[in-house]
Structures are given as C-alpha cells and as structure tokens.
C-alpha cells in the first residue's frame, strides 16, 4: 500500500509549490452548505465530498443508492427495497428490526432529519455533501461516523421549468418535473414532483411473477421563500414521500430466483414541514433558525422461510412484519458572529438544539414457543437537548485555530407489551480542534482532532425473550451503552490556479470505545432468532481517502476518488461463544475507488464513462460471511439540442451480482437446513434512455 502514502506526500508538496502571490480569481468556489459558515470545500478542515448535479448525471443516478456507489469511504446495506443503512469509514448500522437504532450516519434533506429512512429520489438535487468522520459538534448524535447533507433546488427569481423522463429494462420508468418562479420581488416558490417505477430484478417462480420486489415511489417537494425586509428571509419547506415497494429479495437457491408464497413489502409514507429563518439585523451576529416536523409510517415485512407450503416435509411457513410510526419535532437556533461581534479577533458560533422523537412499533410474527401467531408492541420517546459552539481564531502567516464543543443530553422512556418500562438518560459531549495552514487561496493543510458519540438504548427484543429458558442468556443484554469515537486527521487540499487540477487527500486514525455491534442468538432448535445490540470493547479504523479532478484537455476531464481502510474489532465474544476479537469490522472494504471521464466530443455531444470498484467485506460482526469484490462499469452518451437533452445510458454494464446484504445460517429444508451465505443482490445490468426539456 505504498502507493497511498506517496499520493499524500505528492499532494503536500504540490500544495506548497503553488505561489502565494498568484491571482485568486479561479479558485474553486463549491460552497459547503452544511457547515456553520458557507465556504469553499477547499477551505473546510475535514474530509468532505461534494456530489453535484453533473456528478449524479455522469453515472445516470436516479436514487441516492446510485450516487453512493461513486463515493470513496462510503458503503451501504439494504435488507429492504433500498439501501437504507449507511456506513462511513466502516462504521454504521446494517439493519433495524425490533430495536430502534441511533444511526451512526445520518441523512439531512433540506435540513430535515431523515436518518434511518433512506428515502430520496434525486431528480431535484442541487447538491449532496458527504461529511466523513465524527461530526458531533455540527450534527450531534446521528453523525458518529459522518453525515449526508442533501439540498434540493429552491425558488428562483424568474420562471424556470424542467420536465424529464426515463425508460429502462425491467419495465422501469421515471417521470419528474420541477417548476420555480418569483411571484414578486419578495416572494418565490418551487415545486418538484417525481415518480419512479420498476418491476425489480427478481423472478418469483412459484408465483410466476417478476414484480414481487418492485419499486413504486412518489416524491413531492414544495418551497416557499419570503423576504419581507433586507434583514429577514423566511422559507417554508414541505416534503411528501410515498413508497409502495415489494420486498422479496432472498433466494434459497442463492440467486435472483425466489420461491416465496407470501412476498413481503417495504412501504413508507412520510410527511415533513420545516420553517427556516435567517435574520441579519443584529449588530453582533446573524441568526439562523429552523423548526421542523416529520411523521413517517412504515410497513416492512417478509416471508421468513423464503419458500412455499409443500416444498419439503421438514418445512416451516411463517412471516415477519414490522409496523412503525415515527414522529419528530426539532428546533435549531444558531448565532454566527459578524465582523463587529468578534471575540477579540475570533469568529464564533453559538447554537441551541432540541428534539422530541417518538418511535412506535407493532411486530406481527409467529411465536414458536406458543406455536401461534403473536404480536409485540413497543414505544420509545427520546428528548434531546444540546448546546454547541465554535471559535475560529486567526494566528500568524496563514495559520488559524478552529475549536468546537457540543454538550448533549438525551432522556429515553421505553415501554413494551411485555410489561417493561425503562428510563435511560445520559449526557454526552463531542468536540473538534483543527490547526489550519492556508498556504494560499488554492491550498490548505490541516491537522484535526475530533470526538463523536451516539446514544445508548434498550434491547426490547432481548427483554421480551429473556424469560424463555432457551434464551435466558439475553437477560444480560437488556440495554447497551453509548459509543464514543475519537478521530485524528491530517489533510491536504489544493488546486491549480486555472482549476485544471484539484486534489483532496486525508489520512485518518479512529478509536472506537464501547462500539455498538449487532448480535444474534439462535437457540438449539427452531428457526427462532433474537437480535440485540451489544458493546464490543474498542475498535480501530484507519486509512486514507482522496479525491482528484484533472482537466487533461479542454474536451477531456478525469475524476478519481479512492480510499484504503483498515479496521479491527476489539474484544468481542458472542453469546454463542464465537470469538471475533481482532477481526476486521463489518461493511468495511479494504479499498474503494471511482474513476470517471467526461469527453466533450462536440458542443452538443458528450460521452461519460465511469468505473467503481469495491473490495470484499464482512456482512456482519457476528459471522464470517463475506461479499465478493466487484467492479461497476457505466457509460452515458448525452446529446444537447437547444432546450432538449437526450441520453442513452447503462449501469452495471458487466452485469455483476453485487451483494448489498448478507446472512449466514440455514434456511433450506431441502438440504437439512445446512448453513449458507445468503445475499441480497443490487441491480443487474441496466440499460435506458432519458430525455428532458428545460424552459
């Protein structure tokens, strides 16, 4: 792996070689919207990746899942119709069944917290920002490993509209439309609508259907912007998402052919409203505030046996269904200093955050002990309150010091139908300190230390089953502790004066304390599993990430992002006695890369080529099943004619089977329930055409 340190050395030398007296007119000006102060990505101390509209179009991405494939250091798992669970630098959850999880990687869409839902079409994408590493000071407990901040297009002063559509194999189509306008000098609005549909990529031979794992999603977003005065700007944001997807993804034959007689579903309906206010009328600071509300109902279920009645004398036939209701109200006030309000020569930020979130679950399942259909209900109410701040202090000769701190308190009230009533609370803190050297307008070198955290919680599934003689071991797993993550980074960012070369490289080392892992217990008999979250001592995650853009020719641009990651579990012995201490962590591929090229053949014709690769990785911290290394090849031929844009594209052109969720156990009565690695596969080869009209 000497190649990666050499790249880091080259980036450092290149950044210092740029002369400080060069003109600043051509500095890259991609602003990071999710930071406290909007500034160029090249001037932010931290590992931040930006996905623009052009980046998404280059790989013909139609959903957040498609975009994530091109981001180094980012991985995801499905276990549902979409890639709902995210990992950054090998840290993140892989599923959510009975117990409510605190995500290690959150998702914000227009400032609204969608963490754990993973539902986003991107037809109206303005910019996606991926913050790698602990982001506690900025985002709190949902950003232990990082945060995805997605901003959609908003109101404009003049009428703008775009209509688009796509057709692809597997009976797939996408229709989208956006319109924005200014009613007058003070009032403007935007509306975006999108519908995606596909039969999916599974053939159910028992039911003779090819749509049991279908996609059927509608997204609507509306924004209303009002500026009553020069000092005050208000924006109302409204989201509506309806997802009616099938879930029939796992095959006893370990391919894309299923035998389920009761295919599952993955339905979500969410509504969200946010009110944002920006006020610059104070002499000492600018005020930003957001009040948001989100409600989401989901219906997730599957055929547990993945087969039909009559497949074998030793068969079983059961289903598992999870009905969830989620309500949340969040408030975030933030003061950002003006030049007149500085503390000495330091800029400052001071904020207050509060949230009230409720999670209700009803599980319908087969109780093997009672030998009858049964249900389990639980309710978790979590109240968060946080105070945070940050100081930016200029030193001498281009040096500056940035320091931030966040104190957060959470209080949980848990109840379930088994008679358990538990209250948990904790006070957590996160911090960041960075020493930055701005070599010149084009180059930044920084050294960063940060601390992140995520909340603990209650293992409702373990509590409900602890009284069972076969599962008495679960009595010690009633709850789990918060996790803490310490991170150190050394980073270099540089760009040529004419933007012909842009490079960002970072080396990091992270220490996980009381790391939360998913555990399972299977009794000696019966297809019954109990899941719980466990604390596995410490863990190590370290590596290198880089992103480069090279303009080889006025008609040819090359893009490269890559990561190398090494992880290690601390002391972790499962209840079954398996010792995984010292092993690599789950969902943590050793390397990832994305290479893409834009060839501007003429003023009207563009050819895009992309290749993404990912090393094998463990599917779980509790077994040794692995994915396979893979490469994704994509291509797009784009023709622009006046207001029209036409494209012919392909994704996964090599038609590789890519595992996005994996289990290791026995579920096939035909071979005596012999354990196998069962995988859910991502999309196969896709071929499609797209057209859009903008006016």
661-677 pLDDT, tens digit per residue, is 999 999 999 999 999 99
pLDDT on residue 537: 76
Between CA 437 and CA 442 the distance in angstroms is 11
pLDDT on residue 26: 38
pLDDT on residue 498: 83
* 3-class SS of residue 17: helix
CATH of 3-19+38-694, one of 3.40.630.30, 2.40.170.20, 1.10.940.10, 3.30.1490.20: 2.40.170.20
Report yes or no: 235 and 224 within 8 Å, Cβ to Cβ.
yes
Q: Is 673 left (phi over 0), alpha (psi -120 to 50) or beta?
A: left
Please state whether the predicted TM-score (pTM) of the whole model is above 0.85: yes
Residues 6+ apart with CB under 8 A from 455: 102, 141, 382, 410, 412, 426, 428, 482
Report yes or no: 351 and 333 within 8 Å, Cβ to Cβ.
yes
Cα-based torsion angle of the residue sequence 360, 366, 372, 378 in order, rounded to the nearest 10 degrees = -20
pLDDT tens track for 50-88: 999 999 999 999 999 899 888 999 999 998 999 889 999
Distances (CA, A) of 659 to 83, 622, 628: 11, 17, 7
* 3-class SS of residue 66: helix
pLDDT on residue 502: 92
Runs of H (alpha helix) within 397-515: 460-465
pLDDT on residue 42: 87
Residues 6+ apart with CB under 8 A from 314: 669, 672, 673
Ranges in the chain, pLDDT < 70: 1-29, 466-476, 521-529
pLDDT tens track for 510-555: 999 998 887 776 655 455 667 788 887 789 999 999 999 999 999 9
pLDDT on residue 22: 38
pLDDT on residue 25: 36
Provide the mean pLDDT of the chain. Answer: 91
pLDDT tens track for 370-395: 889 999 999 999 999 999 999 999 99
Question: DSSP character for 100?
Answer: P
């Amino acid at each position: 792996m000497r190649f990666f340190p050499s790249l880091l050395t080259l980036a450092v030398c290149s950044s210092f070689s740029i002369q400080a007296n060069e003109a600043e007119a051509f500095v890259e000006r991609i602003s990071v919207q999710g930071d406290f102060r909007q500034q160029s990505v090249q001037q932010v101390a931290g590992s931040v990746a930006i996905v623009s509209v052009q980046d998404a179009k280059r790989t013909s991405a139609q959903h957040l899942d498609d975009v994530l494939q091109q981001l180094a250091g980012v991985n995801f798992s499905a276990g549902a119709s979409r890639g709902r669970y995210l990992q950054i630098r090998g840290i993140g959850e892989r599923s959510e069944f009975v117990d409510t999880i605190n995500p290690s990687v959150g998702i914000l869409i227009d400032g609204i917290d969608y963490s754990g839902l993973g539902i986003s079409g991107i037809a109206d994408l303005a910019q996606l920002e991926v913050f790698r590493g602990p982001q506690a000071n900025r985002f709190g407990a949902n950003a232990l490993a990082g945060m995805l901040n997605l901003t959609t297009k908003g109101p404009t002063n003049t009428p703008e509209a775009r209509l688009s559509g796509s057709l692809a194999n597997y009976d797939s189509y996408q229709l989208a439309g956006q319109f924005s306008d200014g009613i007058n000098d003070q009032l403007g609005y935007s509306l975006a609508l999108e519908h995606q549909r596909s039969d999916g990529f599974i053939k159910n031979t028992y039911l003779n259907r090819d749509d049991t794992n279908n996609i059927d999603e509608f997204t609507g977003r509306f924004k209303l912007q009002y500026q009553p005065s020069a000092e005050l700007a208000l924006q109302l944001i409204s989201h509506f998402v309806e997802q009616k997807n099938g879930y029939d993804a796992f095959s006893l034959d370990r391919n894309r052919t299923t035998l389920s007689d009761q295919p599952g579903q993955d339905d979500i309906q969410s509504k969200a409203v946010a009110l944002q206010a920006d006020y610059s009328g104070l002499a000492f600071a600018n005020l930003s505030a957001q009040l948001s509300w989100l409600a989401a109902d989901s219906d997730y279920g599957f055929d547990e046996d993945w087969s039909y009645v009559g497949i074998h004398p030793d068969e079983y036939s059961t289903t598992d269904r999870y009905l969830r209701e989620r309500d949340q109200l969040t408030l975030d006030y933030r003061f950002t200093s003006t030049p007149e309000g500085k503390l000495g020569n330091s800029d400052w930020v001071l904020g207050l955050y509060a949230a009230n979130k409720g999670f209700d679950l009803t599980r319908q399942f087969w109780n093997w002990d009672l030998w009858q259909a049964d249900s389990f209900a639980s309710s978790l109410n979590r109240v968060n309150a946080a105070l945070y701040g940050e100081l930016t202090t200029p030193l001498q000769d281009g040096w500056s010091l940035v320091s931030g701190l966040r104190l957060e308190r959470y209080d949980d009230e848990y109840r379930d139908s088994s008679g358990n009533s538990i209250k948990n609370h904790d006070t957590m803190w996160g911090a960041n300190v960075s020493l930055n050297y701005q070599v010149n307008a084009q180059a930044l070198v920084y050294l960063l230390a940060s601390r992140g955290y995520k909340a603990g919680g209650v293992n409702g599934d373990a509590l409900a089953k602890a009284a069972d003689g076969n599962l008495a071991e679960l009595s010690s797993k009633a709850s789990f502790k918060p996790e803490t993550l310490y991170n150190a980074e050394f980073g270099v960012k540089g760009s040529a004066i004419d933007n012909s070369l842009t490079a960002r490289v970072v080396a990091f080392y992270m220490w996980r304390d009381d790391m939360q892992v998913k555990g399972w217990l299977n009794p000696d008999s019966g297809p019954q599993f109990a899941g719980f979250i466990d604390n596995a001592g410490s863990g190590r995650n370290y590596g290198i990430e880089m992103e480069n853009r090279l303009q080889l020719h006025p008609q040819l641009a090359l893009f490269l992002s890559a990561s190398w990651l090494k992880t290690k579990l601390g002391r972790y012995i499962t209840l079954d006695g398996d010792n995984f201490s010292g092993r690599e962590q789950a969902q943590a591929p050793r390397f990832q890369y994305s290479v893409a090229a834009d060839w501007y053949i003429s003023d009207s014709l563009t050819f895009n080529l992309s290749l993404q690769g990912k090393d094998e990785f463990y599917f779980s911290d509790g077994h040794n099943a692995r994915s396979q290394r893979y490469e994704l090849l994509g291509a797009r031929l784009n023709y622009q004619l006046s207001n029209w844009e036409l494209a012919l594209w392909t994704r996964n052109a090599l038609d590789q089977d890519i595992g996005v969720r994996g289990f290791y156990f026995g579920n096939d009565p035909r071979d005596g329930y012999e354990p196998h690695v069962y995988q859910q596969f991502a999309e196969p080869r896709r071929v499609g055409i797209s057209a859009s009209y903008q006016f």
